[in-house]
A and B are shown apart, each in its own frame.
Chain A
């Protein structure tokens, strides 16, 4: 049974790492480091990089949290860990 707890934890950490890569890439790389390159593209009147830094990344953060919550609920059910 201890192994099941470890498996659950490993699956959780894998999911977190995967989502943290996105959490890092979009605002830090897209919104700051490579922002000038992305600004060559536009979204309506927004330069794309500027939009990511002042709008897009915030929507993404919301989506990441709900995705994580959903995936973890599934994982809880799968491991019988739900409450």
Chain B
């Protein structure tokens, strides 16, 4: 059976599955639409959270980022940052927000700080962070379709949107939850099966996590061999290459952790489990499911880099003839993601750290995972599975983000601020309309991706870390925090982070509008803009606490509310006696 037919079959099967689930899991009430009725088992929710969290970026781009751009060790910032945040979520946020027992993150901010202004600021932060994030998913869907099913980008995007539209509008959180569980299963098989084959080929060990610490056929360790190969070509040593400086890596990691814990589409997943106890356990299960991919990724990164180097330079000084390049090389050249330029006209492929000599002029991050099965000469069904996996990762994250955005619109803005008397049925209808509107908006942005799309990941994590995370922490752990402090903190954390990102990348990412002119790159202690969220968070905490100390205490009923969210059940009840 041809690869393309097989891919259509596999992808078609998964899509049918998602739609079947959508029809089965229709939402009948706002509680089902926003939090899946609050009855999801903690392990199921853990699996859905893992799919919600792992986006096209985790699935397609991360291993390539680690292996190439961040040169190995430097890529640890993603591995640590995008997992460590779950510890904060499990201990400092999820259980108390679950106890609070409402539907959205801005709703907590609005109630805890007894202020609609605070709620609206939170909605704005949420929408900016989630919309920038969703653009990347839409692009991932279009790219996966066009590469594997050889449709146009637009056709692919339309098909993807249609699927999300059906199950998100129909089922809300309930439909999304069950499709995410199915999507996790698809994406994790798609990611690990090629990794197992590659590890087995290189090291004889089928477990990639062990294979990376194992030996090659000639008895040398994989990582020793890789260090040696890359340094011979003038690259930094794989196991020690630092990204920027050690301080930059430190702050970068911390920013991603705080951002992970503060991203609303992840937090709301913990509103779907029955109890506070389940919320804690569910965070653990989520990380178990996530770490299957995250501990495999470094092995994929290292082994794929080694494979690539071996292909172009089978033995030291002996380069591959361009005419004899393998089929996968040709396939990816067609997409423009892999580029060769014969600088010295000798017909050989020289790969080097020196840009004057290097002839592999482009190796896109995204190739690594997508081309892996081809490089390792795996059977066609594995390649078809990888296509379905990439789509599952993008669709599941897109749906989670769309729900976070649409519930902020229908529940926080419409019901919370403009029309508090809206009926249950009216709100359910409004939430479906908001969802449909959001899918169309995301689709529009997918068709017309703004130039700044690539730079906005920094913004999404920066905003979540510098505005949402601190205000939630303070709302739970600092009873004295009042509305003045919370609003001042959010605005200043947000302001500082935007200032630094825009100063580097232009206002709203428009080139040449860096308002302070030619300042040194990464001028604040060598910290890059992507890593600035932690600094913004620090500013937020400092300003919020200072302002709260200078302004009146929050009212008694708010202090009671804090007592109430702090205890899972009952201990505070006798207070009134």
Contact = CB atoms under 8 A, between A and B. Distances in A.
Interface string A24-35: 000110011101
Contacts of B75: 54
A82 B277 contact: yes
Nearest to B209: A55
Contacts of A61: 83-84, 86-87, 287, 291
A12 B461 CA distance: 28
B172 interface: no
Is the interface on chain B under 10, 10 to 19, 20 to 34, or 35 or more residues?
35 or more
A73 B87 contact: no
Secondary structure type dominating chain A contacts: helix
B305 to A, nearest CB: 14
Contact of A50 (B73, B88, B92, B572): B73
A65 B86 contact: yes
Given A1-B577, A69-B281, A45 B213 contact: yes
A12 B570 CA distance: 16
A58 B76 CA distance: 11
Interface in A21-56: 23, 27-28, 31-33, 35-36, 39, 43-47, 50-51, 53-55
Contacts of B214: 44-45
Nearest to B224: A45
Contacts of B275: 83
Contacts of B249: 32
Given A65-B287, A81-B567, A1 B87 contact: no
A62 to B, nearest CB: 5
B386 interface: no
A36 B87 CA distance: 26
Given A28-B250, A46-B223, A23 B87 contact: yes
Secondary structure type dominating chain B contacts: helix
Contacts of B210: 44
Give the most central of A23, A27, A51: most B CB within 10 Å: A27
A23 B84 contact: yes
Contact of A1 (B91, B221, B284, B574): B574
A45 B73 CA distance: 15
A35 to B, nearest CB: 8
Contacts of B574: 1
Interface of A: 1-2, 4-5, 8-9, 12-13, 16, 19-20, 23, 27-28, 31-33, 35-36, 39, 43-47, 50-51, 53-55, 57-59, 61-62, 64-66, 68-69, 72-73, 76, 79-83
Interface of B: 73, 75-76, 79-80, 83-84, 86-88, 90-92, 95, 209-210, 212-215, 221-224, 239-240, 246, 249-250, 253-254, 275-277, 280-281, 283-284, 287-288, 291, 294-295, 298, 477, 563, 566-572, 574-575, 577
Given A61-B83, A82-B568, 11 more contacts: A5-B563, A5-B566, A8-B571, A33-B246, A45-B222, A50-B239, A54-B73, A57-B84, A66-B284, A82-B277, A83-B276
20 contacts: A4-B571, A8-B571, A16-B91, A16-B92, A46-B212, A46-B223, A53-B80, A54-B75, A61-B83, A62-B287, A65-B87, A65-B283, A68-B91, A69-B90, A69-B281, A76-B568, A80-B571, A82-B277, A83-B275, A83-B570
